[in-house]
Structure 1
């Protein structure tokens, strides 16, 4: 049976990076994309998630469930806390793109540098890492902010070289005090190899972690389906 994954996007750009990963890791699934780039615009203007953004996201999660999605993939770290809040409202599991990355970072490293191009993503990622450290009972985890001020605007204005330069500068500013760099936005994954080479540090980005988390959830669904079939036969 073909499995369906509904990917919810709040902005342009990330879908193109995720498509090869979907094909590589989830080749037997059908991916349905729901994109509303007004969401991230409203988050940026308001400095955080508004009631209107929350309402529209929940509507998109509901659309995904209504169309028969087996999993909902929340691809935007800026609205991750909304996904956490909404999970109990739906039968369909909601997988956040950055949860698995946060588990890895909080479980393996003590001093984590978070590189972001938007303050509205920096704060939720910091909180996600600290919650994950608490869940793993790791009291020695510290998070260092590294905001690449203006990088997001450079990218959306068609200046990718400036975007990359500002990210590199932010990463280098934190590199001497941290054990690992975490890229807060999936769209920053393009810088993963360069930052690793320039800083000499491990660099974690969310797209591959998130897609592999989807793969793990699908395996659980298939196992549960086989168990249900066995019980019915028995």
Structure 2
């Protein structure tokens, strides 16, 4: 657990499965969520086990519940789960706590359904595609936008390249997949925060089709939820 708190501020806990996301999200947190101190909990096994099992298992859900409970006991008034693959687990945990619990991809889903009808979702993991698609569908229903059409696609092999350290290969594959999907939709959503770098490197891949990523939109949404 890494910590950066002040007694004068309210406290947020971010729960990560990818340690590298801390450096990505902390500057956005400082910009978009003023007045909140924070600390981080990192558990890479939550994602590894979800990939192995194809979805969050009961054991993974219990582990996440334990992390949220630990965060609350440590003083967190709000918790951000930064792994999109844990979407179903996060929804399972939510009713057990009065504290605010937010998913990193909520802001991206909201931006998609309020601005576009034909929505493309791109992931490099099957375990992420289903919960992200389900979140978009539920957000659309809540917003009275049930006519949204979702096109989902997995960029097969890209995540394996990333785990082997081939970031260039991963980013090129994601860029090519963005270009393919952009031909049939009005907006492309990148289901994993780790995919955002590919868009930053190859930003012209989608042509005029907008591409939404979860870190930026997730933090803007978090700021609105916590600070009004």
Same fold (TM over 0.5): yes
Shift of 1:176: 0.9
Question: Could you tell me how far apart the structure 2 residues matched to 1:174 and 1:198 are?
Answer: 10
SS of 2:205's equivalent in the other structure is helix
Is residue 106 of structure 1 aligned with residue 113 of structure 2? yes
Counterpart of 1:96? 103
Q: Is 1:213 equivalent to 2:221 in the alignment?
A: yes
Contact 2:60 2:89 in 1 (8 A): no
Residue 3 (structure 2) aligns with: none
Q: Give the helix-richer structure, 1 or 2.
A: 1
TM-score for both structures, normalised by structure 2? 0.91
1:158 aligned onto 2:157: no
- Structure 1, gaps ≥5 residues long: 221-234
Q: Deviations over 1:14-60 (max 9, x none)?
A: 22211221222235432210000011110011111111110000000
Quick check: 46-55 or 164-173, which moved more?
164-173
Structure 2: runs of 5+ lacking an equivalent:
1-7
Work out the number of aligned pairs and report it. Answer: 220
Aligned mates of 1:109, 1:140 — CA distance in 2: 10
Do the aligned partners of 1:114 and 1:182 also contact (CA within 8 Å) in 2? yes
Give RMSD over aligned pairs.
Answer: 1.5
Structure 1 or 2, whichever has the larger Rg, is: 1
- 2:212 corresponds to: 204
Aligned to 2:5: none
Deviations 1:179-205 (A, max 9, x none): 000010112121334554221210111
Residue 146 of structure 1, CA deviation: 2.2
- List, as ranges, runs of 4+ consecutive aligned residues in structure 1 with deviation greater than 6 Å: none
Matched with 2:60 is 53
In the alignment, the residues of structure 1 paired with residue 203 and residue 140 of structure 2 have an alpha-carbon distance, to the nearest angstrom, of 23
